[in-house]
Amino acid sequence: MAKSFAKSKKRQELISRVLAYIILGLAVFLVLAPFSIVIALSFQSHSQAVNPPFRFFEGPLGFNEFVTAFKESYSEFIGEKSVWTGLINTLIIVCPIMFTGVFFSALSAFAFAKLKFKKKKLMFAVLLGSMMLPGIITMTPAFFIYDLLGWINNIDEPALAFLPLMLPNLLGTAACTFYLTQYFKGIPDELIEAARVDGLGNFGIFTKIFLPLSMPALIAQILLWFIAGYNDYLGPLLYIGDEQYYTLQLVLKLTSGNADSNLPKVMAACITVMTPILILYLVFQEHFLKGIALSSGKED
């Protein structure tokens, strides 16, 4: 009886494992199939791409469209502005707020996790509540405010359109503060007590102890922040009207928005845009996964 029960249990485990692998295999296929088509088209000529039947690789691999994506301008779409211009504009918007936002979010997280002050739980609850508010609700009033300030469609200073994309997150975000708070709660309080004995204040404890110990979580949040800003399309579409200040995603959209678009060129541009994100993830993969895994803790 015991042997038959053990065999039945092993059979069930084997079946469940096989089903899990099948489901995971299908999920991987659904992710990689479109990506492989993009890669295949980027190496083909325009005639090969538009004439059926479609073949993944036909003839020698061509890098002409990648050269176009890197060097030539998309003059038929946006004058003399290239992918490089969009990349520079994107970095101008994302990089400053990426570091300042994470720093101030970490500062707030340190206060919520380790300091005692009145109404701390209420303030943290309000912070969590703000995360539940959909951004689409505040989009219209924010647009009118920025328009009244003269930051949108300003003919004399079109670069002012960068400000609505930078200022809201310049001093941190609720989500980043929440995750870093959970991470900081896992750091022993004994370190704070020892630092106070050595004469460090709260800011010194934060900069000299918590920031170095929290590098995996900070790197993870910086990467997430960069990816979100790098892939942002709706914000630049709303606020940026001058083509010379278009971000990378707007430039990429313009390359594919024409009915006569060169399909291999568009696919090569997509690969070009994705490459920095893939490189960043591969380089910081260990810190990224560790920071996400450890950003959990117990509520006080």
pLDDT digits (tens, 9 = 90+) for 228-266: 899 899 889 888 888 788 888 888 877 665 545 677 777
Angle formed by the axes of helices 263-283 and 2-42, to 10°?
A: 130
**In this predicted model, what pLDDT tens digit does every residue of 140-170 receive, in sequence order?**
888 889 888 888 877 778 778 889 999 888 8
Look at residue 47 in the predicted model and tell me its pLDDT.
Answer: 65
Distance CA 123, CA 40 (A): 52
CA geometry: angle 184, 93, 110, nearest 5 deg: 15
Q: What is the rounded average pLDDT for all residues in the chain? A: 80
**Percent of the chain residues topping a pLDDT of 70:** 78
Record the pTM. Answer: 0.76
Question: Tokens 């010194």 map to which residue?
Answer: 204
Distance CA 225, CA 220 (A): 9
Distance CA 188, CA 177 (A): 19
Tell me the DSSP string of 131-183: HTS-HHHHHHHHHHHHHHTT-SS-SS-GGGGGHHHHGGGTT--HHHHHHHHHH
Look at residue 292 in the predicted model and tell me its pLDDT.
Answer: 65
Domain architecture of the chain: domains with CATH: 2-69 (no CATH), 74-294 (1.10.3720.10)
Structure tokens of 55?
Answer: 């073949």
